[in-house]
């Protein structure tokens, strides 16, 4: 039995928080285990002068961490699940997804307490095509601009007047103890989240049974079913950072069913397609595929082709 393991993580404050969270959970289960963080810069962290949708998708945030797993510099990697591609290399597996935190987005602004109170022409920053599409669908009078960088960098850009408001994940602000910066939390009906939003994922080498057994107790079963449905929708639509799509699943305990809602929209928000369905947890992937097919039946493929050609 190994006495130490190494966790690959991005260097951003939020990524370090997530890695430390996993380390604490491992220590609770294995008090004598030595756990080292291996902090790394990824291409997604370094290339801040272009939109994520122009840089090649979600692999920008995990490729370097996966390389560390392959060459033995790290034993596990910790990610925000929403940053992970829906299809992983056969070398890797999701060893665990932790219990989901707040999945909602948040408005951060020094001017107003809600989106509806922002003046026409107000500049709202987001790096997400999903958020852009839903924002412009509901508030076509706003101007949405790209914003990159970690949470604190984006807050600085807001405070220096480059933007009138920005949209961030609520959970990131909460984990960094920046609750006071949240002007309002956007409900699921206002802003459907990204697949896997609010979930910490633990990735490991598929061929390492000891590490897989070590991280398995961190897995939350209900969250696992829900994100399996969400990621199945994304996979069915070939979703990534270049696609304005959203998916969110939650368990209705009284019926023991997962309810899944998903959305595909045009970048300018003029076309929004929505679908939902429900099924038992064991059919989570089938549920996701079914909802994906519903969106395709509504014309999502046309929207996605237009986005790809934009």
Residue 83 falls in the annotated catalytic set: yes
- Number of Cβ within a 10 Å radius of residue 242: 20
Q: Which of 45, 49, 71, 83 is catalytic?
A: 83
Residue 209 CA to residue 180 CA, distance in Å, equals 43
Helix (H) or strand (E) holding 222: helix 221-236
- Burial, 7: exposed, middle or buried (Cβ in 10 Å; 0-12, 13-18, 19+)? buried
Alpha-carbon gap, residue 97 to 51, rounded angstroms: 28
Q: CB count, 10 Å around CB of 299?
A: 12
- Tell how far CA 291 is from the center of its chain: 19
Distance CA 72, CA 144 (A): 42
The CA distance from 47 to 100, in Å, is 29
Chain centroid to Cα 131, Å, comes to: 12
By three-state DSSP, how is residue 138 classified?
helix
**DSSP secondary structure of 167-203:** EEEHHHHHHTT-GGG-SEEPPTTTSPPPTTTT-EEEE
Question: Torsion-angle region of residue 278: left (phi > 0), alpha (psi -120 to 50) or beta?
Answer: beta
Question: Which of the 8 DSSP states describes residue 56?
Answer: T
List of E strands, 200-271: 200-205, 245-252, 257-265
- The residues assigned a catalytic role are 83
């Amino acid at each position: 039995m190994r006495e130490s393991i190494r966790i690959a993580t991005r260097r951003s404050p939020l990524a370090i928080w997530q890695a430390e969270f996993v380390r604490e959970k491992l220590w609770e289960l294995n008090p004598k285990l030595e756990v080292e963080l291996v902090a790394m810069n990824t291409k997604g962290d370094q290339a801040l002068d272009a939109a994520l949708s122009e840089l090649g998708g979600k692999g920008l945030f995990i490729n370097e961490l996966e390389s560390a797993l392959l060459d033995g510099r790290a034993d596990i990697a910790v990610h925000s699940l929403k940053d992970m591609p829906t299809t992983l290399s056969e070398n890797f597996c999701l060893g665990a997804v932790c219990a989901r935190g707040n999945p909602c987005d948040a408005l951060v602004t020094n001017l107003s307490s809600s989106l509806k109170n922002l003046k026409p022409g107000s500049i709202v920053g987001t790096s997400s095509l999903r958020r852009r599409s839903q924002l412009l669908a509901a508030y076509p009078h706003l101007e949405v601009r790209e914003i990159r960088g970690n949470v604190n960098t984006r807050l600085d850009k807001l405070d220096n007047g480059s933007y009138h408001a920005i949209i961030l994940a609520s959970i990131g602000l909460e984990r960094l103890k920046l609750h006071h910066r949240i002007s309002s939390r956007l409900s699921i009906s206002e802003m459907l989240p990204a697949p896997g939003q609010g979930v910490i994922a633990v990735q490991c080498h598929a061929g390492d049974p000891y590490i897989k057994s070590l991280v398995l107790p961190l897995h939350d079963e209900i969250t696992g079913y829900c994100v399996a449905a969400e990621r199945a929708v994304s996979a069915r639509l070939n979703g990534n950072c270049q696609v304005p799509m959203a998916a969110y699943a939650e368990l209705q305990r009284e019926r023991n069913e997962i309810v899944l809602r998903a959305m595909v929209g045009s970048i300018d928000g003029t076309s929004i397609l929505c679908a939902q369905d429900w099924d038992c947890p064991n059919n989570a992937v089938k549920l996701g595929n079914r909802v994906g097919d519903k969106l395709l039946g509504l014309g999502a493929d046309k929207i996605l082709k237009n986005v790809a050609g934009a």
